[in-house]
Structure 1
């Protein structure tokens, strides 16, 4: 069984700026409000990035952290990623796609996953959580990237 979420946002900024800011993993603790740290562990010659994300403590004080592999492709404006350390998931695959549209750049995130059966929540509950949180993070990213575009004076 596989669960899937899909969320999009249109960012009123040039494609290159949207691509650069959202693929600069080292800056994710400033771009996302949920990450305390982002550490690059390895970069392959083919462009795959292995990195660790660490979240701020949750309501119970638990700090979640995991390693992912991410492969950005600037030519197609796509990113494919998956968690290596899967935590509560049997698997978690993520696709980011960017497309120039009227009003800016449409950024789409698709997450496909399956929660481990021993977890106290199921795929549907995780999908609801991810959809809620993704909208918050995308709104934040939109605001920050658009502010950077305004400062740079680049037309969208």
Structure 2
């Protein structure tokens, strides 16, 4: 099973990082590749929130995913639901842990490519790893600078 795992330190408290990075409707601000994010269903009970949502990329492709937020442990687990392609499955785990400098945000992606996907696994791994590092760095900069909150407020008004 292929795995991508990357961490970054963000100079904000874990609760702030967890809340911002799991605000799905803010993803078009946080991630360059998402041009649309829509919550289809939200269920909250105690420390957990389950989200079913749809993402749209720059090319207009959409897919549905589900995400379980553990607000107490500050862990998000997710999986892509449909369409799965180019994956046979995609499971994600995001954690936010207190660190001396703020928050250690770790993303783990376990997946299997669809056998019909034309690119070889090493190419996909390199591309996904580089993309994850870029996304984490962009998110770090937007959270630390306050830009994530400013852009979210502008999007609402």
Instruction: Tell me the TM-score range normalised by the shorter chain.
Output: 0.7 to 0.9
- Does residue 19 of structure 1 match 2:21? no
TM-score where L is the length of structure 2: 0.87
TM-score where L is the length of structure 1: 0.87
How many residue pairs match? The answer is 145
Q: How does 1:138-149 map to 2 (within 5 A)?
A: 138-148=136-146
TM-fit CA distance, 1:129: 1.2
Which shows bigger deviation, 46-55 or 106-115?
46-55
| Equivalent in the alignment of 1:60 | none
User: Can you give the 5+ residue segments of structure 2 that lack an aligned partner in the other structure?
Assistant: 151-157
Taking structure 1 as reference, are residues 123 and 64 closer, same or farther at Cα in structure 2, changes over 3 Å only? farther
TM-fit CA distance, 1:125: 2.1
| Equivalent in the alignment of 2:106 | 108
Q: d(CA) in 1 for partners of 2:27 and 2:14? A: 18
Question: Aligned-pair RMSD on alpha carbons?
Answer: 1.7
| Equivalent in the alignment of 1:41 | 40
| Equivalent in the alignment of 2:63 | 66
TM-fit CA distance, 1:64: 2.7
Q: d(CA) in 1 for partners of 2:90 and 2:103? A: 25
| SS of equivalent to 1:131 | helix
The structure with the largest strand share of the pair is 2
Contact 2:15–2:74 under 8 Å retained in 1: no
Contact 1:115–1:122 under 8 Å retained in 2: no
